[in-house]
Amino acid sequence: MAAAKEPQIITDKEQMRKWSREMRSQGKTISLVPTMGYLHEGHLSLVREARKDTHLVVVSIYVNPGQFSPTEDLSTYPSDFHGDLLKLASVPGGVDVVFHPQNLYDTKDCRKGSRGGGGGMVSCLEEKGMGHQTWVRVEKLEKGLCGKSRPVFFRGVATVVTKLFNIVEPDVAVFGKKDYQQWRIIQRMVQDLDFPIEVIGSEIRRDDNGLALSSRNVHLSPEERKKALSISRSLLMAKASVEKGQVNCRELRDLVIQEIHNAGGRVDYAEIVDQESLEEVEEIRSPVVFCIAAWFGKVRLIDNIEIKI
């Protein structure tokens, strides 16, 4: 058996940019898989997708403080860098570089200091009153779905992904469709800002029972994990109803919300939206995506299912 491929670990952004430019000068193409670490099979499926598309693969591991508000779970976000490296080494072909910067912003580490305060459009970075002042916004696509309850989230995502694109300079970037709104926002950002990057959406990976894989699943108790299966179960029920002729979105939403409530979950949103514009629809007449965010205990989970008729 061939030895596992150990990636080069780069922590400095100038060194990362130098590596990418050297590889591109040799005619090599590069894929980037942005992650916040604590990798699972869903992340590894993105790496396998990236290996099919380019000569080289870079995985970034960086917990982005710009997408968290002061009341969210930045300080408790799980991490296991050594474990992440072992998992990446298990992927056939491996990973060429792991980009693991300490900080991509001109500010202090937001994991330290006060966690209080905040509100409105205040992120962890702004709470400190230092450094970073420039944000990237995809204004229309970020407003609905997760943007309603997490107002700083998508500008933080778009900003850090822009920074990663400028540092790594990839030809391809791979994102998971579990974060459907995020994927569409990055696609639109690339289009609007003329990044020469192909953005690929990779299908959702689930455990054997159907729960969408997420780094936050580690915070679910065994009982909460069992109850959370109501999300994927209700989405499949909705899709089956559409296939039988049901096109009324209100009735489909009621079906899903009731199923999750019966399991003990608290629904943040359950919306049926156009797959590209993410605008809510009343009847299904074209391809849509049914998106859900729900709380089980202290854990907020998201999931979705694409529906075509």
Second CATH level (architecture) for the domain 215-307: 2-Layer Sandwich (3.30)
Non-local (6+) Cβ contacts of 241 within 8 A are 252, 255
Position 117 confidence tier, pLDDT thresholds 50, 70, 90 = very low
Fold of 8-202: Rossmann fold (3.40.50)
Whole-number Å distance between alpha carbons of 102 and 82: 15
Could you confirm whether 55 is annotated as catalytic? no
**Which amino acid is located at 239 in the chain?**
K
> Which ranges in the chain are annotated with CATH 3.40.50.620?
8-202
- Rounded to a whole number of angstroms, the CA Rg of the chain reads 20
Q: Record the pTM.
A: 0.92
Q: Which of 43, 82, 100, 219 is catalytic?
A: 43
**Stretch 221-233: mean pLDDT:** 98
Hunting for tokens 């450094």 — which residue is that?
Answer: 131
> What burial class does residue 233 get, using C-beta atoms within 10 Å of its C-beta: 0-12 exposed, 13-18 middle, 19+ buried?
middle
| Tokens representing residue 307 in the block | 């529906």
Q: Average pLDDT, whole number, for the chain?
A: 92
38-58 pLDDT tens trace: 999 999 999 999 999 999 999
> Which ranges in the chain are annotated with CATH 3.30.1300.10?
215-307
**Stretch 130-159: mean pLDDT:** 93
